[in-house]
Structure 1
């Protein structure tokens, strides 16, 4: 049973420890839950900032619904970072519901997000609880930009881009969990929103994103579809939403694209056990160790949304830094609202829908993590 209001599940992982950094910064006590308490204690001592001043506990828990529900019980909010979420996420969602906790996570996996909405959204709503996947740099920054664009009357069509520095070199700037998620996406369907319906992207679709922030176009991918088409599907303001993701290193993104083509040609027909082995080898070769903490001088991001209507046209841009560190801040910002009982929605909802995009943007801006601009087109 948790002694503190916030649970961080995945306490020994890269993102989990960054969430703890921000909870400590905000003086919020937390319970760190991991499958190996010894490893969590060791990793936290090495990497969590100001841990000596924190009020916390560490619990070792098996990854099943009953064990996790028992560990979560007593808390108000669960911050889940254990991925790939398509493989592990629903157990934590069900455990949070059973324990009577609000649920936040850091996923960008569209298929999983749809599962949370369809299988658990109504149950969380009836319990007066929030189920909010994807409270992370991907795709909260892009959603903030989209919401800023939607402030212009008449906008009903969105195109968003998430552009970051993070794949240069062998796994530089990409956590082990993120690498696993990237390659796991080869097995999942990617959809965009068109006339209020989710429509599958063409196999191996790609984009050439031209932005005034860069000298050359950025090679981008649907990246599993992102969370935005799902969150905007039942939004009366939005008819369509197409999202893409690119990295400054075009060669790295083309490598990911080529691996997806190789997957379909050589591995898609294999039994799942053999596919799992291939994916594990890809992750190990890409991110063999936990990456170092991000640096503001090299980890920079640009997220923008083009909003269009019959006559309206607007571009909203969010410039940012250190996406993983920003993810920790976004999770802490959501936890603050939920601890205070201040949420605009319960059930299935995005961070912007539950807490307000202006609140999240303000939290990030005040800490030097993001800056937004809006221009009419």
Structure 2
């Protein structure tokens, strides 16, 4: 049973430890939940900033509903960072509900987000609790940009792009993120068109032309992202197409080629053989946990183009250190939930639950983001 108001599940992982950094920064006591307490303590001692000043505990739990429910009970909020969420996420969502906790996570894996909405959204609403996937750099920054664009009257169609430094840059991606990327090959990727989710073709890609870059940024649907799912029930929005690109076009083209190879060679294999393929891809691209991000290197640009019958607007959110920003967003959301301040219960995005201006302000005050809006 948790003694403190916030649980960080996946405490020995890259994003989990960055979330703890921000909880410590804000003076929030937390319970770290992981499978191995000794290893988690060792990892935290190496990587969590100001751990000596923190009020915390570590609880061991197996990844099943019964064990996690017991570990989460007593807390108000679960910050879940254990991915790939399409494989592991629903167990933690169910456990948080049974423990009477709000549930936040960090993924935009669209198939998982749709499962959370369909299987747990109403149950969380009835319990007066929030379940909010994708409270993270990707795709909260793009959603903040989209919401800024929607402040212009008449906007009903959105195109968003998240562009950041990629796997060959110095800090790379975490092991969990790499696994999630390759899991995308197994699942349908949808965009929102005229109020309906429509599957992207397997070959879908985008060349994003943006004034922040000299060359076009090669981008992919990246599961379709969480945004079309969140905007599907938004009366303001008819269409939403979202994509992700890294500054290193070669990396994105390699991922695109792997998706085509998956479709041609692996799609019809038994799941056990597919699992082995995904495991080998992760091990070959991300053999170990990357070093901590540097704001001088890890930078991002998220853009939302909004259009209506005559209205047109561009909103841009510039950012630094996406993983560090993810920890900040998790903490910003946890603060509101601890205080009982949420605009929504049930299934809702971070921007709809807490307000995009609140999230943006939290990031701006800590030097992690700045936004601009221009009419087109």
TM-score (ref. length: structure 1) = 0.99
- Are positions 1:109 and 2:109 aligned together? yes
Partner of 1:196: 195
Helix, strand or coil at the partner of 1:45: helix
Is the Cα–Cα contact under 8 Å of residues 134 and 349 in structure 2 kept in the other structure? yes
Q: Give the Cα–Cα distance (whole angstroms) in 1 for the partners of residues 282 and 172 of structure 2.
A: 14
Partner of 2:68: 68
Q: Give the Cα–Cα distance (whole angstroms) in 1 for the partners of residues 367 and 171 of structure 2.
A: 23
Q: Deviations over 1:75-103 (max 9, x none)?
A: 00000000000000000000000000000
Q: Give the Cα–Cα distance (whole angstroms) in 1 for the partners of residues 59 and 11 of structure 2.
A: 9
Helix, strand or coil at the partner of 1:62: coil
Partner of 2:321: 322
Q: Deviations over 1:7-34 (max 9, x none)?
A: 0000000000000000000000000000
Partner of 1:187: 186
Q: Give the Cα–Cα distance (whole angstroms) in 1 for the partners of residues 202 and 266 of structure 2.
A: 15
Helix, strand or coil at the partner of 2:340: coil
Moved over 6 A (4+): none
Q: Give the Cα–Cα distance (whole angstroms) in 2 for the partners of residues 62 and 228 of structure 1.
A: 31
Helix, strand or coil at the partner of 2:351: helix
Partner of 2:33: 33
Partner of 1:305: 304
Q: Deviations over 1:182-236 (max 9, x none)?
A: 0000000000000110000011200000000000000000000000000000000
How far apart are residue 166 of structure 1 and its match?
A: 2.2
Q: Give the Cα–Cα distance (whole angstroms) in 2 for the partners of residues 321 and 185 of structure 1.
A: 25
Is the Cα–Cα contact under 8 Å of residues 18 and 323 in structure 2 kept in the other structure? yes
Match runs of 1:45-84 below 5 Å: 45-84=45-84
Helix, strand or coil at the partner of 1:241: strand
Q: Give the Cα–Cα distance (whole angstroms) in 1 for the partners of residues 202 and 225 of structure 2.
A: 15
Partner of 1:258: 257
Q: Give the Cα–Cα distance (whole angstroms) in 2 for the partners of residues 204 and 87 of structure 1.
A: 24
Partner of 1:366: 365
Partner of 1:85: 85
Is the Cα–Cα contact under 8 Å of residues 166 and 251 in structure 2 kept in the other structure? no
Aligned pairs, number: 376
Match runs of 1:1-377 below 5 Å: 1-168=1-168, 172-377=171-376
Question: What is the RMSD computed on CA atoms of the aligned residues?
Answer: 0.7
How far apart are residue 269 of structure 1 and its match?
A: 1.4
TM-score (ref. length: structure 2) = 0.99
How far apart are residue 173 of structure 1 and its match?
A: 1.6
Helix, strand or coil at the partner of 1:168: coil
Gaps of 5+ in 1: none
Q: Give the Cα–Cα distance (whole angstroms) in 2 for the partners of residues 142 and 123 of structure 1.
A: 28
Over 3 Å counting, the alpha-carbon distance change for 1:172 and 1:294 in structure 2 is closer
Q: Give the Cα–Cα distance (whole angstroms) in 2 for the partners of residues 167 and 320 of structure 1.
A: 17
Q: Give the Cα–Cα distance (whole angstroms) in 2 for the partners of residues 61 and 43 of structure 1.
A: 17
Q: Give the Cα–Cα distance (whole angstroms) in 1 for the partners of residues 201 and 262 of structure 2.
A: 16
Gaps of 5+ in 2: none
How far apart are residue 172 of structure 1 and its match?
A: 4.3
Q: Give the Cα–Cα distance (whole angstroms) in 2 for the partners of residues 116 and 65 of structure 1.
A: 15
Helix, strand or coil at the partner of 2:138: helix
Helix, strand or coil at the partner of 2:310: coil
